[in-house]
Amino acid sequence: MTQTVKEKFFDLLKEQSSYEEAIGLMAWDMRTKAPKKGMDNRSEVLGVLSEKVHEIQTSDKMKSYIDELKGQVEDPVLVKSLEEAEETYNKTAKIPGKEYREYVTLQSKAESMWAEAKDMNDFESFRPYLEELVEFNKRFAEYWGYKEHRYDALLHNYEPGITVSKLEEVFPRVRKALTDLLDQIKKAPNQPDPSVLEGHFPKAQQEKFSEEILKRMGYDFEAGRLDETVHPFAIGLNSNDVRVTTKYDEKDFRTAVFGTIHEGGHALYEQNIDPKLSFTPLATGTSMGIHESQSLFWENFISRRESFWQNHYELFKMNAPEKFESLPLDQFYRAINEVKPSLIRIEADELTYCLHIMVRYELEKALIGGEIEVKDLPELWNKKMEDYLGVKPEMDSEGVLQDIHWAGGDFGYFPSYALGYMYAAQIENQMSKEIDINRVIEQGDFKQVKEWLTSRIHQYGKMKKPLELLEEVTGEGLNPDYLVDYLTNKYKHIYQF
């Protein structure tokens, strides 16, 4: 039976998706289980597979299907798949295949070298890889084109519709509000006592509690798993295989507990995409910012909420060291929500988190714009951390080397974290008009919350653009005031000023 052009197009997308799933599985393995000596070979294999994806995306066959099917409107999945395939074709075709393969191979090697450099506190060993990655991204931005700032071309990869000019309207405003609030908190007389959280907390017990919370959130362990890694991440190979990773610190349980919930938020998004989008470029989150809104929603707006711990504190104490048995809930709650400027982004409190992102955004924007060089990063990083957060790294492993993103070539990614936080605040504000969130959480049943998010966000995958989705869900465009109001009200209550 002769296939239609539509069927051939979807078969080609399925072939592409299959290679991408294999690449994703190898990437997960490299960050979790793979032996060190296998990294170079694995990097070469990833390069070969990625070149194959590149060939499919830029093939004459793909172009002919797009041209022949364009204009058909009877099938919305076809229409959106064509849009995605055409944009990818136009962008990817501008990068020579050999150059793309070299870049993917470099990414894998750079990630491996970054892990070593971080462990050894040796920025100079990683610097040549980072310099190459920056130059690749500058060239790619020129290939793709932009209207105002070279960095806009990279932002578009992660957050379509967001530009430097839009960020410059929002970020300084938020930074001023947060630094002013931080000053008030530092002067507040009723400071939480974080020492009540100190002590040895076995990894196995943290894992048991984290797994139980993931289950209560609605994470499907038959379609995923929880593993340990240096830098936590979630990865969706397909909607029935979405994996969560976390990092355990036996001296501070917050790293794993809140980190696992964060990655669980990402995973719920991927697990609940409409199955009809499988094997298409639409079977993933619509943007990194919307994705981050889901992880931050669960981490901050749910699991750092007082009502969450009113319900889950007994479960926590069942898995925690004995000292927590006599710790009053109000002291525990205030302690886990302490505001304390720190050096490490993934361990940052809710209030200072966005300031960490702004440090990274400003540096990578300047790198791509050619205003600074890679060799200047450690010094510039330390200065911005001191200016914005009042802390200064003593070594690069807790400064410029702490994140994996630049090693993976993810320039343009960091702003999505702060945007995601703003999106999450808007989404929470809208949800609270329709659901009594505190009551639901106190009852320990997250089903209503999960179903609300699935029906309005998750199921659509990439069918809707990020700002379009945000406006449909909340009734307005990006508005950072919700985040500022949320943090102000929360910390005035906790710090009693």
Name the 3-class secondary structure at 306.
helix
Residues paired with 245 in a beta bridge:
227
Active site (annotated) includes residue 263? yes
What stretches of 317-376 adopt beta strand conformation (E)? none
Residue 286: name the closest of 461, 157, 410, 473 by CA: 461
Contacts of 435 (CB under 8 A, 6+ apart): 448, 449, 452
Contacts of 161 (CB under 8 A, 6+ apart): 465, 466, 467
Contacts of 93 (CB under 8 A, 6+ apart): 57, 58
Question: Is residue 112 within 8 Å of 129, Cβ to Cβ?
Answer: no
DSSP state, residue 242: E
442 is in an annotated binding site: no
Contacts of 274 (CB under 8 A, 6+ apart): 459, 460, 461
Quote the distance between the C-alpha of residue 425 and its chain's center: 16
156 is in an annotated binding site: no
Reading the block at residue 215, the tokens are 């289950």
471 is in an annotated binding site: no
Question: Is residue 402 within 8 Å of 344, Cβ to Cβ?
Answer: yes
Tell me which of 132, 159, 263, 270 is the catalytic residue: 263
**What are the CB-based long-range contacts (under 8 Å, 24+) for 468-476?**
469/286, 469/290, 470/290, 470/423, 470/426, 470/427, 473/426, 473/427, 473/430, 474/426, 474/427, 474/429, 474/430, 475/430, 476/426
Question: Is residue 93 within 8 Å of 370, Cβ to Cβ?
Answer: no
Residues paired with 246 in a beta bridge:
228
Neighbours of 124 (CB within 10 A): 10
Question: Is residue 119 within 8 Å of 60, Cβ to Cβ?
Answer: no
Residues paired with 226 in a beta bridge:
244
- Between CA 99 and CA 105, with CA 101 as vertex, the angle to 5 degrees is 120
Question: Is residue 287 within 8 Å of 158, Cβ to Cβ?
Answer: yes
Supply the residues annotated as catalytic.
Answer: 263
Annotated binding site: 262, 266, 292
Annotated binding site for Zn(2+): 262, 266, 292
